Structure 1
Amino acid sequence: MNTVFIPPLEAAQAKPASTPSIKNLPVNLFGSVMGLAGLGLAWRLAHQYFGVSPVIGEAIGLFAALVFVVLAAGYLVKVARHRQAVVSEFAHPIAGNFFGTIVIAILLLSVVAGPYDETLAQGLWTLGSVLTVALAGLVLSRLFKGRQDLQHAVPAWLIPGVATLDIAVTGGHMPMAWAAELNLFAMAVGAALALIFFTSIFPRLVHQEPLAKAMVPSLMILVAPFEVGFLAYANLFGIDRFAALLFYFGLFLAAVLGFKVFRRDVPFAPSWWAISFPLAALANAALKYAHVQGSPLLLVIAWSILLFLSVALAVLTWKTLGSLVRGKLLAG
C-alpha cells in the first residue's frame, strides 16, 4: 500500500525499535489531552444534570491538565533540541494537522480551569483562540498553493476546522465584551472549513485506496464536526431542531464508523487517541440533548456512550504508559 497515507509517527510503528529519544515524541499525543479533558467535562455534566459525584469529573480534568504539562514540556525540549524534526512534522501534509490538537487542548483546559481560577481560564481561552485562528489560516493558506494530492485528504484534515469550532464550544460563558463576536466569527469559520474539508475527505475515502491500518482510528474524527458543531451551536443559539439534526447525524456516523474502527486487527499506536475527542464530544452532546429532551432512551444512549468512553480512555492510558515504560513510545 502507498505509504503516503501514513504520517511519520505511524510509519515508525513498522520499523525496528531504536533508542528512545524525545525527537520521536509525536504531536498527535496531545489528542490524549483533548480526550481526557472532554471526558472530564462530560462527567462534570453528569454531576450537574444527574447528581453524580463531582470528584470523578474534576479528577479526570486535573489529570488531563497534568498530561498536558508533561507533553508540553517534552515537546518544548523537542523544539529546542530537534527543531528540524518539528519543522518537518508541521510541514507534513497529514501529520501537520495534528498541531491542532495542541490548541484544542488549551481551549478545553480553559473550561476545566474555570471553577478554580477565572483569570487563568480566560487567559487560556484567549491564548487558545488566537493560536487556533492563526493555525486555521496557516493550514488554509497552505492548501491554496494548489496541486494537493487527493490521497492526503484524510480525516486529520478536519482538525484545524474543528479547532475553530471549539472556540465557540469553550467560550460561551466568557465575560469579555469581545468574546461574543469572536464566538460568532469562530462558528462561521469552523463550520465552513469543516464543510469544505468533509466534502473533500469523503470522496477520497470512497474512491481511493483504504487507509492504512495505523490510520483507521482517525476515521472517528469524521464525527467531530457534527458533535462539536452541535455543542458550539447550542452555546450560541440553544438546542433547537437544527442542533438535533447535527447531534443525530453525528450519532449515526459514530455507530457506523465504530464497526470500521474497533477491530482486533488494528494494532495499538498513539494514533488510537484520535478516537478520544470525537467520542468525548459525542458524550457531552448526548448528555446535553438527553437532559433537554428528558427521554429515557436518550438517557440510556448518553450514559452508554459516557461509560464506553471512560473504559476506552482508561485502556488507552494504560497502553500508552506501558508503551512508554517499555521504550516503544519514543523509539524511532
Structure 2
Amino acid sequence: MEKQAIEETVLKNKLQYFPISFFASVMGISGLAVAFERYEQVFKLSGRIGLILLIAVYLACILVAITYSFKIIRYFPAVVSEINHPLKANFFPAFSISLLLLSTGTINYQEKLAFGLWVIGTVVHFILTIVIISRWITQKYQILQVNPAWFIPVVGNIIIPIAGIKFVNIEICWFFFSIGLFFWVILFALIFYRVVFHDPLPKQLFSTLFIFIAPPSVAFMAYVKMAGHMDSFARILLYIAWFFVILLLSLPGYFFKLDFVVTWWAYTFPLCAVTIASITAFDLLKVPLFGGIAIGLLILTTLVVVTVFSKTIYALFHNQICVPE
C-alpha cells in the first residue's frame, strides 16, 4: 500500500518534474520539418511531408510551452532549481532556438508570422546568451560539469542568420554568426578536453556527444546564406560536420546499450542540421555524391526522430520520465 501511495504521489506531481529539456524535442521535429521542406524544394518533389511536420511542430511547441508554463505557476521553486543547475540551465535556450527553427520553417508559407517568431526567438536567445555567459564568468564550475549541452546557449546564435538574412541588415546577421562561431571554437576545445582527459560523461549525457555535429552544420548553412555561395570556408565547415557524423556512427556500441532518457533528443537536431547542410551543398554544387549523402542522412535522421519520439511516448505512459531523478 505504501508503495502504491508513493507511485500515486509521483504521478500526481509529474508536472513538477517536467524538464525544460523537452524543448529539445521541438528542436528535433522542427529540424526534420525543415529538412523535408528543403529536400522537396531541391529535388523538385510535390510532397507535403515538410508542411505536415511543420504543423506537428507547432502543436508540439504549444503543448510543451503550455505544460512548462503550468510548471512555472505551480512549481516555481522547481523551475528555479533548473535555472541554477549547471546542466539543465543550458536547455532553456532550446525554447528560443525552437522559435528560430519554426521561423525558418514558416518563412515560405507566412512571412509575417516567421518574422514575429524570429524577433522573439532572437531577443530571448540573446538575453539567455548574456545571462549564461555571465554566470560562467562569475560562478565557479568544475571541469566535470562541462558537457556538449554547453553549446546550446551560445553557439545557438549561429542559427539566427539563417532566417534573419530575410528580415534584417546582413551586418546584424554577421554579428550573431561571429558570436556563435567564436564560442564554438572555445567550447569545443574545453569540452573535448573534458571528454578525453577526465571521467567519462554520465550515461544520461552520452547522447549529447551528437551535439558536436550541430555547430559546423548550422554554421555552414548560415555562412552560405550570407556569403551567397559555397567557398573554401563553407567546405571546411561541411566536411567537419561530416567527419563528426562518421566518428559518432563508428561507435554504435557506445550508444545502443543506453537506457532511454529525455536527452536522447540530442541525437535528433544535430542529424537534422547536417542533413539540411548536405541538401544545401548538393543544391549549390550538384555533385551526385552530395545528393546520395543527403538522401542517406535524411533516411537515417527520419528513423532516429521516429525512434526517439516513440520511446518518449512509451516512457511517458510507463512513468519512466517526468519523475524524480
Shorter-chain TM band = over 0.9
**Is residue 240 of structure 1 aligned with residue 236 of structure 2?**
no
Alignment of 1:1-332 (within 5 A): 18-19=10-11, 21-174=14-167, 176=168, 179-237=169-227, 238-260=229-251, 263-332=255-324
Structure 1 stretch displaced more, 258-267 or 68-77: 258-267
Cα deviation for residue 99 of structure 1 reads 0.8
Deviation per CA, 1:156-181, whole angstroms, max 9, x where unpaired? Answer: 1111122111101221222x4xx423
Deviation per CA, 1:211-238, whole angstroms, max 9, x where unpaired? Answer: 1111100000111111111111111113
Question: C-alpha root-mean-square deviation of aligned residues, in Å?
Answer: 1.6
Structure 1 length-normalised TM: 0.91
Identity of aligned residues (%): 31
Deviation per CA, 1:125-182, whole angstroms, max 9, x where unpaired? Answer: 00100011111111110011153211111101111122111101221222x4xx4232
Cα deviation for residue 314 of structure 1 reads 0.9
Structure-1 separation of matches of 2:47 and 2:111: 19
Counterpart AA for 1:243: A
Alpha carbons 1:41, 1:284 under 8 Å: kept: yes
Structure 2 length-normalised TM: 0.93
The structure, 1 or 2, with the larger RCO (C-alpha pairs under 8 Å, 6+ apart) is: 1
Structure-2 separation of matches of 1:87 and 1:146: 16
- 5+ residue gaps, structure 1, are 1-15
Structure-2 separation of matches of 1:83 and 1:25: 12
Alpha carbons 1:23, 1:78 under 8 Å: kept: yes
Change (3 A) 1:146 1:84: closer
Counterpart AA for 2:268: S
Alpha carbons 1:43, 1:54 under 8 Å: kept: no
Structure-2 separation of matches of 1:192 and 1:69: 32
Cα deviation for residue 73 of structure 1 reads 0.2
Counterpart AA for 2:235: A
Structure-1 separation of matches of 2:186 and 2:194: 13
Match in the other structure for 2:4: none
Structure-2 separation of matches of 1:239 and 1:38: 22
Counterpart AA for 1:63: A
Alpha carbons 1:158, 1:194 under 8 Å: kept: yes
Alpha carbons 1:162, 1:228 under 8 Å: kept: no
Alpha carbons 1:97, 1:160 under 8 Å: kept: yes
Structure 1 stretch displaced more, 253-262 or 311-320: 253-262
Cα deviation for residue 49 of structure 1 reads 0.8
Structure-1 separation of matches of 2:235 and 2:171: 24
Structure-1 separation of matches of 2:136 and 2:285: 41
Structure-2 separation of matches of 1:311 and 1:180: 36
- 5+ residue gaps, structure 2, are 1-6
Counterpart AA for 2:95: I
Alpha carbons 1:103, 1:163 under 8 Å: kept: no
The runs of at least 4 aligned residues of structure 1 exceeding 6 Å deviation read none
Structure-1 separation of matches of 2:23 and 2:99: 10
Alpha carbons 1:162, 1:224 under 8 Å: kept: no
Counterpart AA for 1:300: G
Count of residues in correspondence between the two structures: 314
Structure-1 separation of matches of 2:58 and 2:164: 18
Counterpart AA for 1:289: A
Counterpart AA for 1:277: F
